[in-house]
């Protein structure tokens, strides 16, 4: 069923310019991306980050990180306190979005032997 929906969206995206209805193109692109990732519209900005899929995206969204700008202003420690986000992933996220990270926090991530918590520990 999902494959049929993807095919229909792709066909719509390809046929739309032929019928002179280009305003539908952004909507079909967005729907295609949502179908591929299996997410609602609000999670699309977060799932564009490497290492963030629908589960981690939902965790971040529910924790208040609803936009890339929110993630940019989050501390590395705040990100690592979220379930399923360890130090390495938090560091990769911050590298992607930019934002200010204290030098000692960055160095701490490089040298610490950190163990990720299980979901049952939250």
Q: pTM higher than 0.75, yes or no?
A: no
Whether residue 101 is predicted with pLDDT greater than 80 in this model: the reply is: no
* Predicted confidence band of residue 6 (pLDDT cuts 50, 70, 90): confident
Q: Which tokens is 95 given?
A: 């590298």
Decide if 54 contacts 28 (C-beta within 8 A).
no
DSSP 17: G
**Which pLDDT belongs to residue 122?**
58
Q: Which H or E element spans position 117?
A: none
Which CATH superfamily hosts domain 45-121? 5' to 3' exonuclease, C-terminal subdomain (1.10.150.20)
pLDDT tier at 76, thresholds 50, 70, 90: confident
User: Quick one: pLDDT band at residue 112, thresholds 50, 70, 90?
Assistant: low
Residue ranges of the domains in the chain?
Answer: 2-38, 45-121
Mean pLDDT of the chain: 85
CA atoms within 13 A on the CB side of 27: 6
């Amino acid at each position: 069923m999902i494959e049929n929906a993807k095919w229909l969206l792709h066909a719509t995206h390809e046929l739309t310019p032929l019928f002179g209805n280009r305003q539908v193109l952004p909507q079909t692109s967005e729907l295609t991306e949502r179908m591929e990732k299996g997410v609602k519209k609000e999670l699309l900005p977060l799932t564009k980050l490497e290492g963030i899929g629908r589960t981690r995206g939902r965790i971040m969204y529910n924790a208040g990180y609803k936009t890339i700008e929110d993630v940019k202003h989050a501390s590395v420690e705040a990100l690592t306190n979220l379930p399923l986000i360890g130090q390495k992933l938090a560091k990769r996220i911050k590298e992607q979005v930019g934002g200010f990270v204290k030098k000692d926090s960055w160095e701490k991530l490089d040298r610490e032997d950190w163990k990720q918590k299980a979901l049952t520990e939250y």
